[in-house]
A and B are shown apart, each in its own frame.
Chain A
Amino acid sequence: MEYRHRVAGRTWVFRDLKELLARASPLRSGDQLAGIAASSTAERMAARMALAEVPLRRFLDEVVIPYESDDVTRLVLDTHDNEAFAPIGALTVGDFRDWLLSDAVDSEVLARIKAGITPEMAAAVSKLMRNQDLILVARKCRVITRFRDTIGLPGTLSARLQPNHPTDDPRGIAAAIIDGLLYGSGDAVIGINPASDSLPALTELLHLTDDIIQHFEIPTQSCVLTHVTNQIDAIEKGAPVDLVFQSIAGTELANKSYGITLKMLAEARDAALSLKRGTVGDDVMYFETGQGSALSANAHHGVDQQTCEARAYAVARAYAPLLVNTVVGFIGPEYLYDGKQIIRAGLEDHFCGKLLGLPLGCDVCYTNHAEADQDDMDTLLTLLGTAGVTYIMGVPGADDIMLNYQSTSFHDALYLRELLGLARAPEFDAWLKKMDLTDEKHRMQPITPGHRLLEQIRTRALAP
């Protein structure tokens, strides 16, 4: 269907909903690369005005990628909850923004309607929102998940400990894990990006992290972030798999480029559930996403990268994940050019994910060929902290020596806790206290040279 908007004596025409969404999207290099961005700032604003008048119900009738040819579209429409949708069913996109920001809408209301929101509705309303709107509404959303600890409680922030090493050296990885634990990081997951994809190497890493978690009775979970099929193989071989990881995207074709289908994700979840390794819950999936992934796989169907990203969250929510994070600045400047675009994308992703009911974290990050630096990351980190981000990454000194990009450091998480008074998952906070790593106020305290965590790695009890 064609969309028209008349403003200041000029009529703007948009061919269909897909084009309208793309033109309304805040400027970013990926949409320009795809040739779908607004051609002028005025066109972008006119598109937003037109989008504001589109009824939410329209999104159930006009899809951006055909139902017949895309299993993500089918998933979205087949699982749409009409009853949950009812309270917002008469609103336009513009009304929806006002409604989300209104005093009457709180955490309970948002939880009741989340299954009625499609990713395209979430993306659409985000395009009408300023950064402060994205922050305020995301903060109202409550998403709590559990495996060996409880993630997402109000007033908490969790962290993934990311101890990568360019050759997967077990002692190098163990050293980074110990460093992170001594800085109070790791309540979301201890998650390694392996350099290798060979099963023996992956299994060794799974045992390494499992040994540390078991030995010190740490209320957290481990994950080795390799292809989902490798993890199913590892489970079948009896390896200790807590969470199953997979990168996912918002179109069937993009997921195919990752070598995955929705059925494979369901099988992986079943395999992980069968191990019954969780203690306080059984949320066993871990997903990563990021704007631009569909375009980079040439699988975006002319849909803007932010809408594609929101569709990836619809995939994620079908599998009740413990953790989802957007790796926002990893993809490079051809998708998100500079600090401004990365910051905006991080806030959009967090908002859309939370609105759809996901435990959304963010890898606040950049590469060295993007126009961004640590100051930009501090800005995004602080904004996401105020927005109630579920978790962030913890990388030694913010420098990932395996993936060659800059993320957030153990110190960065401490900064956010200090600034905003944020605790960790309660089980993990209790463990840190028990290990004499934190004081009564959950602040880090000086570590003695003979601390148990250090003794273990010195005596080569870990990673011999």
Chain B
Amino acid sequence: MPIVTVDPWMELRTHTAARIALGRTGVSMPTHEVLRFGYAHAEARDAVYTPLDEDALREALEGDGWTTVTVHSAAKDRSTYLARPDLGRQLDGPSEEALGKQASSKHEVLLVVGDGLSSAAIHRNAAPFLRALRKHAPAKFCKGPVVIARQARVALGDAIGEKLGAKLVAVLIGERPGLSSPDSLGIYLTLDPRPDRTDADRNCISNVRPEGLPHDAAAKRMVWLCKEALRLGKTGVELKERSDLLEIEAQAGKDDS
């Protein structure tokens, strides 16, 4: 008798990434699964705690022809960042000053890259996504500088966008890492950024990574949302409803054919 009871429905794994048909030893998880799970958790933890490699990111972006400027939130370290989301939404003093010195750039779309909860998401996705964006977006959406933000929450983009006088801010940020997706990038769009903006004023494109929403598709979606937002003069719920509607119509069109 083999020790582990194997589940005779492994083939169902083709339908889902969920951890199904794991087998059992007695009532418990087999050793192999305990270790596989533990490794995935370790990767997710490391994504939270590994500091953003700012030098490598800046080099990659500047190599692609972007200019960059780096800011830091008021959360001085990772443990403060985790316990105090309010501080992650504010700029620290030196960053306020540094941005104040930047000429108000009147960007149509200001790009901010923030570490958020996963530096791995930025390391793996930020540069390739921005390359895809440049391919699909009108040139006026891609005027620098790209703001690199450390210990950043999404709403830090509001403070940055206001300082630089941007019409719309796009925050590329590391999402809360999942066990099977430690490196998922989220993109949050906010028109007319200022500190009293709430989540209801934003539109989000999530799960941007090669295994989720690929960079090209995400870039196209972002370009569409930015154009619509600038045309309507709004981001948030209303824009979401419009894009849902288009998606439903596209779906219906597919079903008809």
Contacts and interface: CB of A to CB of B under 8 A. Distances in A.
Given A411-B22, A411-B27, A444-B27, A174 B15 contact: yes
Interface residues of B, number: 48
A132 B29 CA distance: 29
Given A368-B41, A368-B44, A411-B27, A176 B18 contact: yes
B177 A415 contact: no
Contact of B40 (A337, A399, A411): A399
A418 B27 contact: yes
B8 interface: yes
A398 B184 CA distance: 20
Contact of A176 (B16, B37, B85): B16
B27 A401 contact: no
Interface string A388-402: 000000011111110
A368 B45 contact: yes
Interface string A356-370: 000000000001110
Contacts of A399: 18-19, 37, 40, 178-180
A293 to B, nearest CB: 15
Contacts of B38: 374
Contacts, number: 141
Most chain B C-beta atoms within 10 Å of own C-beta, residue among A179, A395, A406, A418: A179
B26 interface: yes
A374 B37 contact: yes
Contacts of B28: 411, 414-415
A179 B21 CA distance: 7
A18 interface: no
A22 to B, nearest CB: 18
A368 B174 CA distance: 13
Given A368-B177, A397-B33, 17 more contacts: A33-B85, A165-B16, A165-B18, A171-B15, A172-B16, A182-B9, A368-B41, A368-B48, A368-B176, A398-B37, A399-B19, A401-B181, A411-B22, A444-B27, A446-B5, A449-B9, A458-B11
Given A172-B18, A401-B17, A369 B176 contact: yes
B12 A333 contact: no
Size band of the interface chain A makes with B? 35 or more
Contacts of A164: 18
A454 interface: yes
B244 interface: yes
A334 interface: yes
A334 B85 contact: yes
B15 A404 contact: no
A178 B20 CA distance: 9
Contacts of B45: 368
A404 B8 contact: no
A175 B176 contact: no
A405 B117 CA distance: 14
Contacts of B37: 374, 397-399
Nearest to B34: A374
